[in-house]
Amino acid sequence: MNIYFVCTGNTCRSPMAEAILKHKDMDGVEVKSAGIYALDGGEISENSRAILLKESIDFEHKTSQVNERDIEWADLILTMTLAHKNMILHSFPNAVGKTFTLKEYVTPYSSKDVSDPFGGDIYTYLQTYQELKKLIDELETKLAGR
């Protein structure tokens, strides 16, 4: 299964989600991430990198913008917010039926959005990491039961 995580700039949430899921090394699961407004070839945010290193998750990342090729590649597109989901569905009609917010896909939360740590301190990034880790654990359980 090909999973595509999408956020805004591809520097914080989607690369952390990608790293967490890749670290699980699930058979048959390929993972990529991108941003709606990302610049190609940029770096993961310093605080995201620091949190991943602290959690012993080795990860190389270059930012990339959402593109048609990766939308086609993906079996499942998981966005960080409802706004991201709506932008994907508006721009890529072929993504209907395989695009969800991460939260709506794994469990029926009241909020559909993963908190954005951009511009925050290391504690803010740690909170987002912990939120993503819990969601990715739930995703792993759901994928294992498919």
Residue 104 lies in a domain: yes
Active site residue 13: yes
Q: What is the per-residue pLDDT for 134? A: 96
Catalytic: which of 7, 12, 49, 70? 7
User: What is the number of domains present in the chain?
Assistant: 1
Residue 40 lies in a domain: yes
39-84 pLDDT, tens digit per residue, is 999 999 999 999 999 999 999 999 999 999 999 999 999 999 999 9
Residue 71 lies in a domain: yes
Residue 80 lies in a domain: yes
- The pTM for the full model equals 0.97
Residue 145 lies in a domain: no
60: buried, middle or exposed (CB in 10 Å: 19+, 13-18, 0-12)? exposed
Catalytic: which of 12, 40, 113, 116? 116
- Domain extent at residue 27: 2-140
Q: Kindly report the CA angle at 58 between 56 and 59, in degrees rounded to 5? A: 140
Residue 90 lies in a domain: yes
Residue 19 lies in a domain: yes
Catalytic: which of 12, 13, 49, 70? 13
- Domain with residue 122: its CATH number is 3.40.50.2300
